[in-house]
Amino acid sequence: MLPYRKNIRLQGYDYSSDGLYFITICTNNRYPLFGSIKDWQMNLNDNGKIVLECWNELPNHYDNVILHDFCIMPNHIHGIIQICNGLAGLKPATTAHPLSEIVRALKTFSSREINEKNGTQGCPLWQRNYYEHIIRSDSAYTTISEYIKGNPQRWVYDKFYYKENY
């Protein structure tokens, strides 16, 4: 029997509805796959650059997505995704893709490309789930945006922090 996994989504909420969503996705076992922090700056390696490219491509696959702040850390990412169904002037109308589908695509596209590059096909890149927070106010948006932008400077205090071995 599989272990029970607690559902961390807000029950009854439609995650395909218009709104701003703050997401955090961790690497499998929180292994540092995307680069390192030096002098308070994130230095992306090739894997990190692939994740950034896949993030930036999301609006090309999902016409109801607008990307906001984004940060890649050594073993996780933070981003703000805006879902806008029925964007004015678009014909045909946009399709209501839920947040879970958008996150799954980001994880799938980046995993496939990174594993192909590294010759590690089938190796899990991401943790199974992701964290999300519905942004409900301008002040919450500002706080989260500042958190994302300043994340590399707070790395040693981050709950996902690991001490690098040199």
Q: Are 79 and 52 in contact (CB under 8 A)?
A: no
Residues 6+ apart with CB under 8 A from 94: 63, 64, 84, 85, 86, 87
Q: Whole-prediction pTM value?
A: 0.87
pLDDT digits (tens, 9 = 90+) for 108-144: 999 999 999 999 999 999 999 999 999 999 999 999 9
Q: Which domains, ranges and CATH numbers included, belong to the chain?
A: 19-155 (3.30.70.1290)
Whether 41 shows a pLDDT value over 60: the answer reads: yes
User: So what's the pLDDT on residue 120?
Assistant: 94
The whole-number average pLDDT for the span 3-28 is 80
